[in-house]
């Protein structure tokens, strides 16, 4: 299989490019970007308490049972010391959405297998974190296939994990029409159809992802659970009292700017949401008053609410990584280019609350080109590396290198 240098051909993000340079200006903002940074000492420092492990086991067992799924055989091992997770996550896109949804999962499975070969006395579980509390319906409600956009026309601010699966039935019907002459789709159609019978979109996503990867030791977690949030309660409290994410990320952002780069994300003053009647509201702090939609809380009131109902509090994009690393015995986070860039903004936040910061690994990338198409591509004088170029750039290159031979330009342009 041909390999294409990603940093030469695809990546344009200056922060990401710098991170993978030998003389990176931002090397102090992470703990390593390769498996070689993991050793026995690193593993021994990544454990969590026995109580946390049992809580994790109980939550995951219930989540699988609630979907009518068999509890994975390797789940029981998560109760044991020396068992670690390799985690990736994504929004609950319609039937997976972009191709890299699957790339991420394949990446964590492969890494877990590789680590087991090297460290036989430990066990490594690939983990998929479902972003069930995300309320941006527009980002999950469509998928693009063969240049066709399939979407659901609906607006909602509910946490997407609680959506009714039947909302996505029209997309499945369109997929069935597109693949009506391809018998290979029958397998996916059966899985997706069964998934739509689940009680909510979080369970539906768990169902179809599990069906595809059930023989690969993958575990799937929905962290929207009161028992897991109770573990994270002290960090929620610190954010409400001190807004530590804002202050720590701002310092890191200033460092990044001082090195000549633009940070990926700017923190809000308070980086939490509040869940109420399935709606997700931003918590806004103004003059010592915590405002949530049309309600107001004093500091004492919001802290009482947190202690009585931690499940009502939800981390935003900058707080979520800390939540993840607090409840999992995690070694590695596998992310896309943008994720890796903004995780580097968070190392000081992890240090502020003494949470272990993981190794960051860039997800695997691949795309499918049929042999016949690749042959035509090369006949036009293009290389594999040219696949990353924009159409206008390709056309310009084609005409500049056009030989004196007679060529049907209409056909060539359509191919490009």
- One domain, residues 357 and 376: no
With respect to residue 272, please indicate whether it lies within any of the assigned structural domains: no
Let me know: does 88 contact 363? Beta carbons within 8 Å: yes
Helix (H) or strand (E) holding 115: helix 100-118
Structural domain of 203: 6-229+318-362
C-beta of residue 347 within 8 angstroms of C-beta of residue 253:
no
* Residues 127, 75: Cα–Cα separation, whole Å: 11
Both tokens of residue 49? 């308490």
Q: Does one domain contain both 333 and 400?
A: no
pTM summary value: 0.91
CB 329 within 8 A of CB 42: no
Cβ atoms 94, 141 nearer than 8 A: yes
Q: Has residue 312 been placed in a domain? A: no
Whether residue 286 lies inside any domain: the answer is no
CB 95 within 8 A of CB 143: yes
Instruction: Find how far residue 131's CA is from the centre of its chain.
Output: 8
| Same domain as 74, residue 42 | yes
Check whether residue 19 and residue 86 sit in a common domain: yes
Q: Classify residue 189: in a domain, yes or no.
A: yes
Domain match, 344 and 388 both? no
Grade residue 411 by pLDDT with cuts at 50, 70 and 90: low
Q: What percent of the chain has pLDDT over 70?
A: 94
Question: Does residue 379 form part of some domain?
Answer: yes
Mean pLDDT in the chain?
92
Domain count, the chain: 2
Is residue 251 one of the residues assigned to a domain? Answer: no
Q: Which of 101, 108, 104, 114 is nearest to 140 (CA)?
A: 101
d(CA 164, CA 203) in angstroms, rounded, equals 10
| 3-class secondary-structure state, position 364 | coil
How far from chain centre, in Å, is Cα 230? 23
* Strand ordering across the sheet containing 330-335: 219-222, 123-130, 83-90, 330-335, 359-362
DSSP-assigned beta bridge partners for residue 360: 333
Burial of 387 (0-12, 13-18, 19+ CB in 10 A): middle
pLDDT given for residue 159 in this prediction? 86
pLDDT greater than 80 at residue 235: yes
Q: Are 84 and 125 in contact (CB under 8 A)?
A: yes
Identify the sign of the CA torsion 163, 105, 215, 173: positive
Reduced to 3 states (helix: H, G, I; strand: E, B; else coil), residue 124 is strand
- Indicate if 11 and 45 belong to the same structural domain: yes
Task: Tell me the average pLDDT across 340-357.
Answer: 97
Average pLDDT over residues 31-47: 93
pLDDT at 157 over 80: no
Residue range 355-370: average pLDDT?
89
Q: What is the CATH number of the domain that holds 357?
A: 3.40.50
């Amino acid at each position: 299989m041909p390999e294409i240098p990603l940093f030469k051909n695809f990546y344009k993000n200056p922060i990401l490019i710098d991170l993978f340079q030998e003389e990176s200006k931002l090397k102090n903002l992470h703990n390593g970007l390769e498996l070689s940074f993991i050793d026995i000492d690193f593993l021994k420092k990544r454990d969590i308490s026995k109580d946390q492990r049992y809580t994790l086991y109980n939550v995951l067992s219930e989540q699988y049972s609630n979907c009518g799924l068999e509890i994975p055989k390797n789940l029981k091992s998560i109760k044991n010391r020396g068992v670690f997770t390799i985690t990736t996550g994504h929004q609950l896109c319609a039937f997976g959405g972009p191709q890299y949804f699957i790339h991420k999962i394949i990446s964590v499975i492969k890494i877990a297998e590789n680590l087991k070969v090297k460290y036989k006395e430990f066990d490594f579980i690939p983990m998929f974190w479902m972003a069930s509390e995300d309320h941006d319906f527009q980002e999950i409600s469509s998928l693009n296939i063969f240049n066709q956009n399939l979407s659901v026309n609906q607006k909602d601010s509910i946490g997407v994990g609680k959506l009714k699966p039947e909302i996505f039935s029209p997309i499945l019907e369109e997929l069935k029409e597109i693949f009506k002459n391809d018998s290979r789709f029958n397998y996916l159609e059966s899985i997706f159809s069964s998934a739509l019978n689940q009680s909510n979109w979080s369970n539906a996503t768990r169902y179809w992802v599990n069906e595809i990867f059930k023989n690969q030791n993958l575990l799937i977690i929905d962290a929207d659970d009161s028992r897991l949030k109770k573990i994270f309660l002290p960090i929620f409290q610190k954010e409400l009292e001190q807004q530590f994410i804002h202050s720590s990320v701002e310092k890191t952002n200033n460092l990044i700017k001082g090195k000549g780069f633009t940070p990926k994300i700017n923190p809000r003053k308070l980086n939490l949401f509040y869940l109420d009647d399935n709606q997700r509201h931003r918590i806004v702090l103004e003059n010592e008053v915590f405002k949530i939609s049309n309600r107001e809380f004093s500091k004492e009131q919001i802290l009482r609410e947190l202690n009585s109902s931690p499940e009502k509090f939800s981390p935003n994009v900058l707080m979520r990584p800390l939540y993840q690393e607090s409840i999992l015995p995690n070694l590695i986070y596998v992310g896309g280019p943008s994720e890796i860039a903004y995780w580097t903004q968070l190392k000081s936040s992890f240090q502020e609350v003494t949470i272990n910061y993981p190794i960051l690994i860039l997800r695997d990338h691949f795309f499918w080109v049929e042999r016949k198409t690749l042959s035509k591509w090369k006949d036009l004088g293009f290389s594999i590396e040219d696949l990353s170029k924009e159409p206008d750039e390709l056309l310009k290159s084609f005409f500049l290198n056009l030989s004196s031979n007679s060529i049907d330009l209409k056909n060539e342009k359509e191919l490009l």
